Structure 1
Amino acid sequence: MNLINKKVTHKRFGMGSIVKHNDSSIEILFATENKKFVFPDVFGKHLKLHDKSAAISLEKIIQEKEMERKEEEWKKEEEKKLLRKKQELRLEYEKLMKNHKLHPESQMVFWCDTDEQNSSFSEWKVFSGAIKSGNNKGKPNKPIRLHQNSAVLLTAIDSGMPEKDRRILGVYMVNEGFVGKLCEDGNIPAHTKYRLQLTEQESDQMLFWEYYVNEKFPKKMSWNTGKYRYFDNSWMAQILHDIVSLKSDPKERELAQQFFEHFCKMNQITEQELPKPNGALMRI
């Protein structure tokens, strides 16, 4: 926009003519001297442009600059909020997990057979299974990685379907006070509040292998033995985040959101830094 030689009026210096300007400054010749001002900030309160057509164009520039300024302020404020959130998460984590080292794969995914699909939700617990061999044969497996930050994911495959179609049925945080190393009976009870069961329609949209991947064999989808396996904390956060989006009932959605926020707090995860799901199904 060319403003050279355009007439202006300044509240203090009176009439003048624009002699120079760029994106950040403007120079005006008044009766006795030249004055420099910040562009376009000086217009509006202090300086008036006589040319109406140029004034309209200038107003658009001012509005764009103001929008850019507000956006920049918003970004800085969001960065401050994120930093504060990280600090809060760290302090809360230190308080809750004083003597516990957070394992990056301290979540459990459980294979539910037909009977367990019903009992897991009616009783809100799963059984880790029995040891198959050795001196402790027959004794319950100890889910040693599970702690206060852990959640249990319930999954199943419909009869005759391939492993890649394994669906997520529901998820729960372990009960308050549960410590896997101290679990003698192999039962993993659910938290009294943070527990979610998906409808059949919701479950059809939540395929386990969209989140889970074996990095050694990134395109392989198999589950040969065992009732459960451990998996990455961030994958569980991704699943919970997507469940929030699935829930249409306001109360269920609110609970899912609270569950997600609680899980992130317990695992020192911030939503803004959570990567997109990149499981084996996403790599085919």
Structure 2
Amino acid sequence: MNLINKKVTHKLFGMGSIVKQNDSIIEIHFASENKMFVFPDAFEKHLKLQDKSDASSLDKIIQKREMERKEVEWKKEEERKQQRKKLELRLEHEKLMKHHKLHPESQMVFWCDMEEQNHAFSEWNVFSGAIKSGNNKGKPNKPSRLHQNSAVLLTAIDASKPEKDRRILGVYMVNEDFIGKLCEDGNVPAHSKYKLQLTEQESDQLLFWKYYMNKKSPQTMSWNTGKYRYFDNLWMAQILLDIVSLKSDPKERELAQQFFKHFCKMNQITEQELPKPNGALMHS
């Protein structure tokens, strides 16, 4: 907006005329001397344009500038809030890591439909589902037992087959820095290295109920409801050990062996003391 030669009034210096102008400074010639002012800030307090049309246009510029300033301030405040939140989460993460106690059933078995199978093995991630009732209905389930010692077992069952034929499709350790108690979106991402997918032939030989057992009803093989359930750390170790023996490809077998050793270390399990599988299939 060009204000050169425009007439202004100053509360102290009286009438004047604008003789110079740039994006941040204007110079005004008054009867006694020339004065420099910050532009457009001075028009908010000390100066007034004589021409009403010019004054209205300038007011719009000032209002727009003020809105932009407030937006910048708001963004800065949001960044500060995000930084504070990240710091709080990091401190909470460190506290949980320091004081974490192994839960004997901190493994997750997941029931995959066809779409979830494709997603699980392309993205190496599962969603724990939504809460069905109560105050938090619709919010993601928080897999609170899962920690860095946890693995996720992916299973499926053909629609025409009974529950006892549920197959194991694959398995992965959770991401290196994953803590279920801090998981807000229900997504459980995989470890960068420890993740295994079984071939269809391998999967047919690895039935879930060989390992899993409802301790209150040892012979019962029913899933009932829910996308996932927790299960015993020892059972996961048994599954991983059997995957090692199933893998014929040298590279895959080596990864499976490393996975098993890593899992046992994280869960304080000794391979020599690992019991044989004793799931519901062994009692049927």
TM-score class, shorter = 0.5 to 0.7
- Who is 2:205 aligned against? 205
CA drift of 1:97 comes to: 5.3
Q: Normalising by structure 2, what TM-score?
A: 0.66
- Who is 1:249 aligned against? 249
Q: 1:172 aligns to what SS in structure 2?
A: strand
Residue identity matched to 1:214: N
Q: Does residue 175 of the first structure (1) align with residue 179 of the second (2)?
A: no
Gaps of 5+ in 1: 1-95
Distance 2:261 2:98 in 1: 20
How does 1:84-99 map onto structure 2 within 5 Å? 98-99=98-99
Residue identity matched to 1:232: D
- Who is 1:107 aligned against? 107
- Who is 2:84 aligned against? none
Distance 2:264 2:105 in 1: 14
Q: 1:146 aligns to what SS in structure 2?
A: coil
Structure with greater Cα Rg: 2
Q: 1:214 aligns to what SS in structure 2?
A: coil
Could you say if the C-alpha distance between residues 97 and 271 of structure 1 is closer, same or farther in structure 2, counting changes exceeding 3 Å?
farther
Q: Does residue 162 of the first structure (1) align with residue 162 of the second (2)?
A: yes
- Who is 1:232 aligned against? 232
Distance 1:228 1:183 in 2: 16
Q: Does residue 120 of the first structure (1) align with residue 132 of the second (2)?
A: no
Q: Which runs of 4+ in 1 moved over 6 A?
A: none
Residue identity matched to 1:104: P
Q: Does residue 261 of the first structure (1) align with residue 269 of the second (2)?
A: no
Q: Number of residue pairs matched?
A: 189
Q: Deviations over 1:51-81 (max 9, x none)?
A: xxxxxxxxxxxxxxxxxxxxxxxxxxxxxxx
- Who is 2:193 aligned against? 193
Distance 2:97 2:281 in 1: 34
- Who is 2:270 aligned against? 270
Q: Deviations over 1:137-179 (max 9, x none)?
A: 0000000000000000000001211000000000000001000
Gaps of 5+ in 2: 1-95
Distance 1:227 1:276 in 2: 27
Q: 2:99 aligns to what SS in structure 1?
A: coil
Q: Percent of aligned pairs with the same residue?
A: 86
Q: Deviations over 1:189-233 (max 9, x none)?
A: 000100000000000000000000001100000011000000000
Q: Does residue 134 of the first structure (1) align with residue 128 of the second (2)?
A: no
CA drift of 1:98 comes to: 3.3
Q: Does residue 143 of the first structure (1) align with residue 143 of the second (2)?
A: yes
Residue identity matched to 2:253: R
Q: 2:145 aligns to what SS in structure 1?
A: coil
- Cα RMSD, aligned residues only: 1.0
